[in-house]
Amino acid sequence: MEVIITRDYDEMSWVAAQIIRRQLIRKPDSVLGLATGSTPLGTYKEMIRMHREEGLDFSKVTTFNLDEYLGLPPTHPQSYHHFMQENLFKHINIHPGRIFIPNGMAEDIDSHCRWYEEQIKKAGGIDLQLLGIGSDGHIAFNEPGSSLGSRTRLKTLTESTIRDNARFFERAEDVPHFAITMGVGTIFEAREILLIAGGEEKAAVCAEFIEGPVTARVTASMLQLHPIVKVVLDEAAASQLKQAGYYCWVQQQKQKLVGMPSQVSFLRRPVSKK
Protein backbone atom coordinates (compact mmCIF):
# COMPACT_ATOMS: atom_id res chain seq x y z
CA MET A 1 0.00 0.00 0.00
CA GLU A 2 1.39 3.36 -1.07
CA VAL A 3 0.20 6.30 1.04
CA ILE A 4 0.45 9.75 -0.55
CA ILE A 5 -0.18 12.71 1.74
CA THR A 6 -1.17 15.94 0.01
CA ARG A 7 -1.59 19.48 1.23
CA ASP A 8 -5.35 19.81 0.93
CA TYR A 9 -8.49 18.55 -0.80
CA ASP A 10 -7.68 20.26 -4.08
CA GLU A 11 -4.26 18.67 -4.31
CA MET A 12 -5.65 15.30 -3.25
CA SER A 13 -8.17 15.53 -6.10
CA TRP A 14 -5.48 16.63 -8.55
CA VAL A 15 -3.18 13.74 -7.63
CA ALA A 16 -6.02 11.21 -7.93
CA ALA A 17 -6.95 12.57 -11.37
CA GLN A 18 -3.32 12.34 -12.47
CA ILE A 19 -3.23 8.66 -11.48
CA ILE A 20 -6.36 8.04 -13.56
CA ARG A 21 -4.91 10.07 -16.45
CA ARG A 22 -1.75 7.98 -16.40
CA GLN A 23 -3.86 4.81 -16.52
CA LEU A 24 -5.79 6.04 -19.59
CA ILE A 25 -2.63 7.09 -21.40
CA ARG A 26 -1.10 3.69 -20.71
CA LYS A 27 -4.28 1.85 -21.73
CA PRO A 28 -6.88 3.95 -23.63
CA ASP A 29 -9.50 1.19 -23.38
CA SER A 30 -9.18 0.89 -19.62
CA VAL A 31 -11.99 -0.38 -17.44
CA LEU A 32 -12.51 2.04 -14.55
CA GLY A 33 -14.40 1.40 -11.35
CA LEU A 34 -15.99 4.63 -10.13
CA ALA A 35 -17.33 5.94 -6.85
CA THR A 36 -19.92 8.52 -5.82
CA GLY A 37 -20.24 10.86 -2.85
CA SER A 38 -18.71 14.23 -2.09
CA THR A 39 -15.08 13.05 -1.94
CA PRO A 40 -14.55 12.25 -5.65
CA LEU A 41 -16.20 15.45 -6.91
CA GLY A 42 -12.89 17.29 -7.12
CA THR A 43 -11.30 14.37 -8.94
CA TYR A 44 -14.11 14.32 -11.49
CA LYS A 45 -13.83 18.08 -12.01
CA GLU A 46 -10.14 17.67 -12.77
CA MET A 47 -10.85 14.77 -15.16
CA ILE A 48 -13.35 16.98 -16.99
CA ARG A 49 -10.78 19.78 -17.18
CA MET A 50 -8.16 17.41 -18.58
CA HIS A 51 -10.63 16.21 -21.20
CA ARG A 52 -11.57 19.74 -22.28
CA GLU A 53 -8.16 21.40 -22.07
CA GLU A 54 -5.72 18.56 -22.65
CA GLY A 55 -7.74 16.21 -24.83
CA LEU A 56 -7.86 13.30 -22.37
CA ASP A 57 -9.83 10.70 -24.29
CA PHE A 58 -12.58 8.57 -22.73
CA SER A 59 -14.05 7.22 -25.98
CA LYS A 60 -12.75 3.67 -25.40
CA VAL A 61 -13.18 3.61 -21.63
CA THR A 62 -15.67 1.32 -19.87
CA THR A 63 -16.89 2.18 -16.38
CA PHE A 64 -18.53 0.25 -13.56
CA ASN A 65 -19.94 2.08 -10.59
CA LEU A 66 -19.69 0.59 -7.14
CA ASP A 67 -23.29 0.87 -6.03
CA GLU A 68 -26.78 2.29 -6.28
CA TYR A 69 -29.62 2.85 -3.84
CA LEU A 70 -32.43 0.33 -3.97
CA GLY A 71 -35.71 1.86 -5.10
CA LEU A 72 -34.35 5.00 -6.76
CA PRO A 73 -34.89 5.28 -10.53
CA PRO A 74 -32.01 6.60 -12.65
CA THR A 75 -33.74 9.97 -12.98
CA HIS A 76 -34.01 10.54 -9.23
CA PRO A 77 -31.79 13.50 -8.24
CA GLN A 78 -30.14 11.45 -5.48
CA SER A 79 -29.58 8.32 -7.54
CA TYR A 80 -26.02 7.48 -8.41
CA HIS A 81 -27.01 7.30 -12.08
CA HIS A 82 -27.97 10.96 -11.87
CA PHE A 83 -24.88 11.85 -9.83
CA MET A 84 -22.50 10.32 -12.36
CA GLN A 85 -24.28 11.86 -15.33
CA GLU A 86 -24.26 15.35 -13.84
CA ASN A 87 -20.77 15.29 -12.35
CA LEU A 88 -18.81 13.40 -15.00
CA PHE A 89 -20.37 11.53 -17.89
CA LYS A 90 -22.17 14.34 -19.69
CA HIS A 91 -18.97 16.39 -19.68
CA ILE A 92 -16.65 13.83 -21.32
CA ASN A 93 -16.67 11.76 -24.50
CA ILE A 94 -17.57 8.40 -22.98
CA HIS A 95 -19.88 6.10 -24.94
CA PRO A 96 -23.21 5.55 -23.09
CA GLY A 97 -23.06 1.84 -23.91
CA ARG A 98 -19.83 1.53 -21.94
CA ILE A 99 -21.34 2.89 -18.70
CA PHE A 100 -22.52 0.36 -16.12
CA ILE A 101 -24.27 1.27 -12.86
CA PRO A 102 -26.34 -1.14 -10.74
CA ASN A 103 -30.08 -0.81 -11.36
CA GLY A 104 -31.83 0.19 -8.16
CA MET A 105 -35.18 -0.65 -9.76
CA ALA A 106 -34.27 -4.22 -10.74
CA GLU A 107 -37.18 -6.62 -10.23
CA ASP A 108 -34.97 -9.68 -9.66
CA ILE A 109 -32.13 -8.35 -7.55
CA ASP A 110 -30.16 -11.59 -7.28
CA SER A 111 -30.27 -12.09 -11.04
CA HIS A 112 -29.25 -8.49 -11.65
CA CYS A 113 -26.28 -8.81 -9.29
CA ARG A 114 -25.09 -11.93 -11.09
CA TRP A 115 -25.49 -10.08 -14.41
CA TYR A 116 -23.41 -7.18 -13.10
CA GLU A 117 -20.59 -9.53 -12.10
CA GLU A 118 -20.75 -11.14 -15.54
CA GLN A 119 -20.46 -7.76 -17.27
CA ILE A 120 -17.31 -6.96 -15.31
CA LYS A 121 -15.81 -10.28 -16.40
CA LYS A 122 -16.86 -9.74 -20.03
CA ALA A 123 -15.12 -6.35 -19.97
CA GLY A 124 -11.91 -8.06 -18.90
CA GLY A 125 -12.04 -7.01 -15.25
CA ILE A 126 -11.50 -3.61 -13.67
CA ASP A 127 -8.10 -2.04 -14.34
CA LEU A 128 -8.32 0.80 -11.82
CA GLN A 129 -10.92 1.07 -9.06
CA LEU A 130 -11.57 4.45 -7.43
CA LEU A 131 -12.82 4.29 -3.84
CA GLY A 132 -13.86 6.59 -1.05
CA ILE A 133 -14.26 5.44 2.54
CA GLY A 134 -17.16 5.72 4.96
CA SER A 135 -16.78 7.04 8.49
CA ASP A 136 -17.04 3.47 9.78
CA GLY A 137 -14.42 2.16 7.34
CA HIS A 138 -16.73 0.76 4.69
CA ILE A 139 -15.86 0.72 0.98
CA ALA A 140 -18.75 0.85 -1.49
CA PHE A 141 -21.68 -0.15 0.75
CA ASN A 142 -19.82 -3.03 2.38
CA GLU A 143 -20.80 -2.14 5.92
CA PRO A 144 -18.94 -3.40 9.02
CA GLY A 145 -19.26 -7.16 9.25
CA SER A 146 -19.48 -7.70 5.51
CA SER A 147 -17.75 -10.77 4.17
CA LEU A 148 -14.29 -9.94 2.86
CA GLY A 149 -14.99 -12.31 -0.03
CA SER A 150 -18.42 -10.89 -0.88
CA ARG A 151 -19.71 -10.28 -4.40
CA THR A 152 -22.20 -7.79 -5.85
CA ARG A 153 -25.38 -8.08 -3.78
CA LEU A 154 -28.12 -6.30 -1.86
CA LYS A 155 -26.87 -4.76 1.38
CA THR A 156 -28.72 -3.27 4.36
CA LEU A 157 -27.20 0.08 5.31
CA THR A 158 -26.18 0.84 8.88
CA GLU A 159 -27.79 3.62 10.86
CA SER A 160 -24.53 5.59 10.76
CA THR A 161 -24.37 5.39 6.96
CA ILE A 162 -27.99 6.48 6.70
CA ARG A 163 -27.23 9.45 8.96
CA ASP A 164 -24.11 10.35 6.95
CA ASN A 165 -26.07 10.30 3.70
CA ALA A 166 -29.08 12.20 5.04
CA ARG A 167 -27.41 15.51 4.10
CA PHE A 168 -28.02 14.70 0.44
CA PHE A 169 -31.79 14.30 0.91
CA GLU A 170 -34.49 16.82 1.78
CA ARG A 171 -35.67 14.67 4.69
CA ALA A 172 -33.79 12.07 6.71
CA GLU A 173 -36.66 9.61 6.28
CA ASP A 174 -36.13 9.72 2.50
CA VAL A 175 -32.72 8.06 2.70
CA PRO A 176 -32.95 4.48 1.34
CA HIS A 177 -32.07 1.72 3.79
CA PHE A 178 -30.82 -0.71 1.14
CA ALA A 179 -28.36 -0.57 -1.74
CA ILE A 180 -26.96 -2.82 -4.45
CA THR A 181 -23.21 -2.83 -4.06
CA MET A 182 -20.09 -4.47 -5.40
CA GLY A 183 -18.70 -6.83 -2.79
CA VAL A 184 -15.30 -6.60 -1.13
CA GLY A 185 -14.21 -9.61 -3.15
CA THR A 186 -15.34 -7.95 -6.37
CA ILE A 187 -13.42 -4.77 -5.53
CA PHE A 188 -10.34 -6.76 -4.53
CA GLU A 189 -10.11 -8.26 -8.02
CA ALA A 190 -9.37 -4.87 -9.59
CA ARG A 191 -5.81 -4.77 -10.89
CA GLU A 192 -5.11 -1.48 -9.14
CA ILE A 193 -7.02 0.38 -6.43
CA LEU A 194 -7.03 4.11 -5.69
CA LEU A 195 -8.64 5.24 -2.44
CA ILE A 196 -9.06 8.94 -1.65
CA ALA A 197 -10.09 10.60 1.61
CA GLY A 198 -10.09 14.12 2.94
CA GLY A 199 -10.96 15.97 6.12
CA GLU A 200 -10.32 15.54 9.82
CA GLU A 201 -13.50 13.49 10.21
CA LYS A 202 -11.85 10.69 8.21
CA ALA A 203 -8.56 10.76 10.16
CA ALA A 204 -9.36 8.04 12.70
CA VAL A 205 -10.77 5.58 10.19
CA CYS A 206 -7.89 6.16 7.76
CA ALA A 207 -5.39 5.35 10.51
CA GLU A 208 -7.39 2.26 11.35
CA PHE A 209 -7.68 0.81 7.86
CA ILE A 210 -4.08 1.63 6.88
CA GLU A 211 -2.24 0.74 10.08
CA GLY A 212 -4.69 -1.42 12.01
CA PRO A 213 -5.54 -5.11 11.65
CA VAL A 214 -7.32 -6.62 8.66
CA THR A 215 -10.87 -7.13 9.85
CA ALA A 216 -14.40 -7.36 8.50
CA ARG A 217 -15.29 -4.66 11.03
CA VAL A 218 -13.39 -2.20 8.79
CA THR A 219 -13.86 -3.54 5.29
CA ALA A 220 -11.34 -1.07 3.80
CA SER A 221 -8.61 -2.84 5.81
CA MET A 222 -8.81 -5.67 3.25
CA LEU A 223 -6.87 -3.36 0.92
CA GLN A 224 -3.75 -4.06 2.97
CA LEU A 225 -3.64 -7.45 1.21
CA HIS A 226 -3.99 -6.08 -2.33
CA PRO A 227 -0.76 -5.92 -4.39
CA ILE A 228 -1.29 -2.43 -5.90
CA VAL A 229 -3.09 0.16 -3.79
CA LYS A 230 -2.56 3.91 -3.71
CA VAL A 231 -4.16 5.86 -0.86
CA VAL A 232 -4.26 9.63 -1.41
CA LEU A 233 -5.08 11.70 1.68
CA ASP A 234 -5.05 15.35 2.53
CA GLU A 235 -3.12 16.41 5.63
CA ALA A 236 -6.25 16.46 7.79
CA ALA A 237 -7.23 12.88 6.90
CA ALA A 238 -3.62 11.78 7.50
CA SER A 239 -3.31 13.52 10.86
CA GLN A 240 -3.66 10.36 12.98
CA LEU A 241 -1.31 8.13 11.01
CA LYS A 242 1.51 6.89 13.23
CA GLN A 243 3.80 6.35 10.25
CA ALA A 244 2.98 9.60 8.43
CA GLY A 245 6.61 10.71 8.54
CA TYR A 246 7.69 7.49 6.84
CA TYR A 247 5.06 7.80 4.10
CA CYS A 248 6.24 11.34 3.35
CA TRP A 249 9.87 10.21 3.37
CA VAL A 250 9.05 7.45 0.85
CA GLN A 251 7.54 10.00 -1.53
CA GLN A 252 10.53 12.31 -1.11
CA GLN A 253 12.89 9.47 -1.96
CA LYS A 254 10.86 8.59 -5.05
CA GLN A 255 11.26 12.13 -6.29
CA LYS A 256 15.02 11.62 -6.23
CA LEU A 257 14.89 8.62 -8.53
CA VAL A 258 16.30 9.17 -12.00
CA GLY A 259 14.35 7.94 -15.02
CA MET A 260 11.02 7.44 -13.21
CA PRO A 261 9.06 10.65 -13.90
CA SER A 262 5.86 8.70 -14.43
CA GLN A 263 6.00 7.57 -10.82
CA VAL A 264 6.69 10.86 -9.13
CA SER A 265 5.74 13.78 -11.36
CA PHE A 266 2.19 13.99 -9.99
CA LEU A 267 3.10 14.22 -6.31
CA ARG A 268 2.85 17.98 -6.06
CA ARG A 269 0.23 20.05 -7.79
CA PRO A 270 1.77 23.19 -9.34
CA VAL A 271 0.95 26.26 -7.28
CA SER A 272 -0.33 29.06 -9.50
CA LYS A 273 1.49 32.36 -9.20
CA LYS A 274 -0.71 35.39 -8.65
Q: What angle do CA 78, 83, 89 make, to 5 degrees?
A: 160
**CA distances, 234 to each of 128, 142, 261 (Å):** 21, 24, 22
Query: Which residues lie closer than 8 Å to 233 by C-beta, 6 or more apart?
Result: 3, 4, 5, 6, 12, 196, 197, 198, 202, 206
Residue 192 annotated among the catalytic residues of the structure = no
Helix (H) or strand (E) holding 155: strand 153-156
Measure the CA–CA gap between 196 and 127, rounded to whole angstroms.
17
Instruction: Note whether 198 and 234 are within 8 A (CB).
Output: yes
Residues 38, 213, 113, 155, Cα dihedral to 10°:
-70
Task: Read off the DSSP letter of residue 224.
Answer: G
Burial zone of 104 (CB within 10 Å; 0-12 exposed, 13-18 middle, 19+ buried): buried
Ranges of beta strands (E only) in 39-113 are 62-65, 67-69, 99-100
Residue 67 annotated among the catalytic residues of the structure = yes
Selecting among 136, 192, 211, 235, the annotated active-site residue is 136
Please say whether the dihedral angle defined by the alpha carbons of residues 261, 44, 126 and 195, taken in this order, is positive or negative: positive
Selecting among 51, 81, 112, 138, the annotated active-site residue is 138
Measure the CA–CA gap between 93 and 101, rounded to whole angstroms.
17
Residue 57 annotated among the catalytic residues of the structure = no
Selecting among 67, 68, 117, 234, the annotated active-site residue is 67
Residues annotated as catalytic (active site), given as ranges? 67, 136, 138, 143
